[in-house]
Homo-oligomer: A and B are copies of this chain.
Amino acid sequence: MDPKTFMDIAVVITKLKMFPYFDIAHYALMCMAVRDDMPQVQGHQQSAQPFYRKHPLSTWVSCMLTCFAGGIIANVLLGEPAIAPFKDHKNLMVASIVWYLVFYSPFDIVYKLAKKLPFKATLSVLKEVQRAHKVYHGVLQTAKIYPSSYFIIVTIGTLKGCGSAIMKNFERMIRGLWLPGSNEFLQPSFTAKASLVASLVFLLERLNYISVPHPLIYFSVVIFFIYFKLSSIILGIRDPFSPFENLFCAIFMGGMWDAMRRAVSKEPKKDDESKDLRNDLLKTKEEKKKD
């Protein structure tokens, strides 16, 4: 592609207004995620009517908390009003309309259509553009409050990008579900890791470690988000970071010392070791199959 055109596209992407189309895509995917998280409740109560028919208030609160999760969590951490993301009626109204259409549209047509691959992929692309926007503005705003606290800047940037994952436990509680055994810190999602990388990139840009025009950096992050999201939807690739993580954990999180201890102790435990290795390989294969 001609560099000039590429730069022009990058500048356009950087200046995109999120409201209304990108926000709508975000709200739609969030409401669908809440809805897809429900069958467990339904199955638990063994009733014919789905949960959201009987508890519209709980469903609405749950969806709103998920749609505005990044802002709410960031505000709580920064000591700002937790309710501030609802200050603007425009966003709240649009999110509520999306919620209504996803859950109660005639003949469930909106939900059923949005689950189809072409629509889902389109919504996801829009949402990833919005995610990049949120991460960038999270980094920007936090850097104004705490200019030299890089840890806080990166944390808030990451949370803006994957707030809904952190909110999940509380949002489930509103729906009467409590699954303390699973949370974002136990099994961080790829989204969270990608948001972390994007926050780091934006922070490095701010500290002048990256000497590339801003629109190009921003555009690269957007493409990075979209590329891996589409990989996940279409090809089923879950987490491209996990091999690096496993390697890191094996080396620095004690695995190295285990190996050294075994080597030093020189006991006839080779059988066990090779078994372990075989098990690990089998596990990796199984995981690949699942994905």
Residues of A within 8 A of B (CB): 52-53, 55-58, 61-62, 75-84, 86-89, 92, 103-108, 146, 149-152, 155-156, 169, 173-178, 180-183, 185-186, 188, 249, 252-255, 257, 260-261
The residue in chain B whose Cβ has the minimal distance to the Cβ of A142 is B83
Contact check, B185 vs A57: say whether CB atoms are below 8 A apart: yes
Which residues from B are CB-within-8-Å of A150?
89
Contact check, B58 vs A185: say whether CB atoms are below 8 A apart: yes
Which residues from B are CB-within-8-Å of A146?
87
Contact check, B87 vs A82: say whether CB atoms are below 8 A apart: no
Which residues from B are CB-within-8-Å of A169?
173
Interchain CB contact (< 8 A) of A180 among B108, B177, B183:
B177
Contact check, A253 vs B81: say whether CB atoms are below 8 A apart: no
Q: How far is the CA of A106 from the CA of B82 in the complex (A)?
A: 44
Which residues from B are CB-within-8-Å of A80?
79
Contact check, B79 vs A75: say whether CB atoms are below 8 A apart: yes
Interchain CB contact (< 8 A) of A174 among B149, B185, B253, B260:
B185
Q: How far is the CA of A182 from the CA of B252 in the complex (A)?
A: 34
Known interface pairs A53-B253, A105-B257, A176-B181; 9 further A-B residue pairs with C-beta atoms within 8 A, sorted by A's residue number = A55-B185, A55-B186, A58-B185, A61-B185, A62-B185, A89-B150, A104-B252, A106-B260, A174-B185
**Distance to closest chain B CB from A278 (angstroms):** 15
Q: How far is the CA of A83 from the CA of B86 in the complex (A)?
A: 22
Which residues from B are CB-within-8-Å of A92?
151
Contact check, B249 vs A56: say whether CB atoms are below 8 A apart: yes
**Distance to closest chain B CB from A145 (angstroms):** 8
Q: How far is the CA of A184 from the CA of B132 in the complex (A)?
A: 35
Contact check, A183 vs B174: say whether CB atoms are below 8 A apart: yes
Interchain CB contact (< 8 A) of A57 among B76, B84, B188:
B188
Contact check, B82 vs A79: say whether CB atoms are below 8 A apart: yes
Q: How far is the CA of A150 from the CA of B176 in the complex (A)?
A: 28
Q: How far is the CA of A185 from the CA of B60 in the complex (A)?
A: 9
Are A106 and B257 CB-contacts (below 8 A) given A86-B151, A86-B152, A151-B86?
A: yes
Interchain CB contact (< 8 A) of A104 among B58, B83, B151, B254:
B254
Q: How far is the CA of A103 from the CA of B249 in the complex (A)?
A: 12
Which residues from B are CB-within-8-Å of A181?
176, 178
9 closest A-B pairs by CB: A178-B180, A79-B81, A77-B83, A58-B185, A104-B254, A87-B149, A106-B257, A176-B181, A58-B186
